């Protein structure tokens, strides 16, 4: 069984902010991070011991990378299958290539979830526009969709036909429209010894299809929170996960939970754990893939996390730094393009006060500035 000692090197595929915060967590535990990314000088490389700058299909570079690390993990899940197989022949890869394959493909993902008894929105694989039977719904590409890209809301047969033409490659997946009350997520970690820990379920609010705010904990009845936790742990155990996994769910008006997506990596909706928990999602990720014990995922505080996206949000950076109580996390990206996640901040509240005495709306007003 793996149990890496300080001085070991963790290979991280992907060079964005999730890799940056994972590399910082690795350093705190005495590990070196080696980043594999096509992008020079990106968020993760800036804080890592080593970087291989190469394309995700460059097998020579992947082979040299594997030779230089003790374990391989991801902050980015869309590595080509041939690259994944190559790495897995050379070094331990956590989470496993099989988990990545499931999470890369919405059809495999939904089939897997339903097979282990987890409810999702009703869905069907779509080969022709005539396969779209019940409107309204959401038509999505099976692969490479994120932040609302690669999908379209369809309400009429004409919209369905247009969206079918526009989205590629086929097949697509068609999902029944879920009239959800809110969206939540749970971060769960599992190590090789089978220990499982999960952070409290949080509510996620989006703006322009991009995560805007996370409320920790989600202001929902305890039974709903317990069910969300049960679902996330069941998925992690059914996958034999070694690593960290985010589970996104819809909560319907009647309190039913439907899983939307799983992501076997740190997740934007887990950033609040950096400031509100003794061990963050990034530390849990590093601990899980290196065979270390997993401490409790308890939170010491309630929290609101606010994403800072694009040039408009970054225009407030100095004001955010000057506001007591806001905990800033900058990702080190040179250019604040529209829709690009640049930074986030967290505001902490005494544990138990966010849904209660303090009030969610007051907390959100503070976060919005």
Cβ distance to ligand AMP smaller for residue 145 or 310: 145
Backbone angles phi, psi at 44, to 5 degrees: -75, -40
Which residues are registered as beta bridge partners of 53? 37
Question: How near is the Cβ of 1 to ligand AMP at its closest, in Å?
Answer: 35
Residue 148 binds to ligand AMP (criterion: CB under 6 A): yes
Buried b / exposed e across 309-329, counting CB within 10 Å, b at 16+? bbeebbeebeebeeeeebbeb
Which residues are registered as beta bridge partners of 176? 137
Residue 145 binds to ligand AMP (criterion: CB under 6 A): yes
Single out the segment in contact with ligand AMP by CB under 6 A; choices: 32-40, 172-180, 231-239, 301-309: 172-180
How many of the chain's residues bind ligand AMP (CB under 6 A)?
12
Residue 192 binds to ligand AMP (criterion: CB under 6 A): no
In this structure, are residues 348 and 319 in contact, taking their beta carbons and an 8 Å threshold? no
Question: How near is the Cβ of 260 to ligand AMP at its closest, in Å?
Answer: 5
Question: How near is the Cβ of 124 to ligand AMP at its closest, in Å?
Answer: 12
Q: Starting at the earlier edge strand, list the strands of the sheet with 123-126.
A: 123-126, 172-176, 137-141, 151-154
Element (H, E) at 180: strand 180-190
Cβ distance to ligand AMP smaller for residue 121 or 305: 121
In this structure, are residues 140 and 120 in contact, taking their beta carbons and an 8 Å threshold? no
Give the residue among 22, 21, 6 at the shortest CA–CA distance from 72.
Answer: 22
Separation of alpha carbons 110 and 261, rounded Å: 8
Which residues are registered as beta bridge partners of 263? 246
Single out the segment in contact with ligand AMP by CB under 6 A; choices: 46-54, 58-66, 170-178, 311-319: 170-178
Q: Which 240-269 residues touch ligand AMP, going by CB under 6 A?
A: 260-261
Separation of alpha carbons 50 and 9, rounded Å: 9
Question: How near is the Cβ of 288 to ligand AMP at its closest, in Å?
Answer: 23
How far CA 343 is from CA of 37, 317, 346, in Å, comes to: 20, 9, 10
Question: How near is the Cβ of 118 to ligand AMP at its closest, in Å?
Answer: 15
What DSSP line would sit under 73-105, residue for residue? Answer: EES-----HHHHHHHHHHS-BSS-HHHHHHHH-
Cβ distance to ligand AMP smaller for residue 145 or 291: 145
Question: How near is the Cβ of 169 to ligand AMP at its closest, in Å?
Answer: 17
Q: Which 91-130 residues touch ligand AMP, going by CB under 6 A?
A: 121
Question: How near is the Cβ of 147 to ligand AMP at its closest, in Å?
Answer: 7
Single out the segment in contact with ligand AMP by CB under 6 A; choices: 63-71, 174-182, 264-272, 311-319: 174-182
Single out the segment in contact with ligand AMP by CB under 6 A; choices: 16-24, 177-185, 299-307, 359-367: 177-185
Cβ distance to ligand AMP smaller for residue 100 or 297: 100
Cβ distance to ligand AMP smaller for residue 8 or 210: 210
Separation of alpha carbons 213 and 182, rounded Å: 12
Separation of alpha carbons 4 and 328, rounded Å: 31
Q: Which residues bind ligand AMP (CB under 6 A)?
A: 121, 138, 145, 148, 151, 175, 177-178, 183, 206, 260-261
């Amino acid at each position: 069984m793996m149990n890496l000692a300080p001085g070991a090197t963790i290979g991280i595929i992907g060079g964005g902010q999730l890799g940056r915060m994972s590399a910082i967590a690795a350093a705190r535990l005495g590990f070196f991070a080696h980043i594999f990314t096509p992008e020079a000088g990106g968020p993760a490389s800036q804080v890592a011991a080593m970087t291989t700058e190469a394309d995700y299909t460059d097998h020579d570079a992947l082979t040299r990378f594997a030779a230089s690390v003790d374990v391989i993990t991801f902050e980015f899940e869309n590595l080509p299958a041939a690259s994944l197989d190559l790495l897995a022949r050379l070094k331990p890869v956590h989470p496993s290539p099989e988990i990545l394959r499931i999470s890369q493909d919405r059809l495999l993902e939904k089939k897997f979830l339903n097979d282990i008894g987890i409810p999702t929105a009703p869905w069907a694989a779509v080969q022709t526009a005539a396969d779209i039977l019940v409107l309204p719904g959401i038509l999505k590409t099976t692969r490479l969709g994120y932040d609302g890209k690669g999908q379209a809301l369809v309400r009429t047969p004409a919209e369905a036909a247009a969206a079918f033409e526009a989205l590629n490659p086929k097949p697509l997946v068609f999902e029944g429209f879920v009239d959800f009350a809110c969206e939540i997520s749970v971060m769960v970690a599992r190590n090789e010894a089978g220990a499982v820990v999960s952070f409290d379920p949080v509510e996620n609010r989006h703006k322009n299809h991009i995560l805007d705010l996370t409320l920790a904990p989600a202001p929902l009845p305890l039974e709903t929170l317990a069910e969300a936790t049960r679902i996330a742990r069941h998925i992690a155990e059914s996958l034999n996960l070694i690593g960290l996994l985010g589970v996104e769910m819809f909560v319907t008006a009647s309190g039913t939970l439907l899983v939307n997506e799983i992501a076997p990596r740190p997740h934007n909706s887990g950033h609040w754990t950096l400031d509100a928990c003794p061990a963050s999602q990034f530390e849990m990720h590093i601990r899980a893939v290196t065979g270390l014990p997993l401490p409790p995922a308890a939170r010491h505080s309630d929290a609101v996390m606010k994403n800072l996206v694009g040039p408009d949000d970054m225009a407030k950076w100095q004001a955010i730094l000057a506001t007591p109580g806001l905990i800033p996390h900058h990702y080190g990206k040179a250019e604040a393009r529209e829709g690009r996640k640049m930074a986030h901040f967290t505001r902490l509240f005494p544990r138990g006060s966010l849904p209660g005495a303090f009030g969610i709306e007051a907390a959100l007003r503070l976060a919005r500035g």
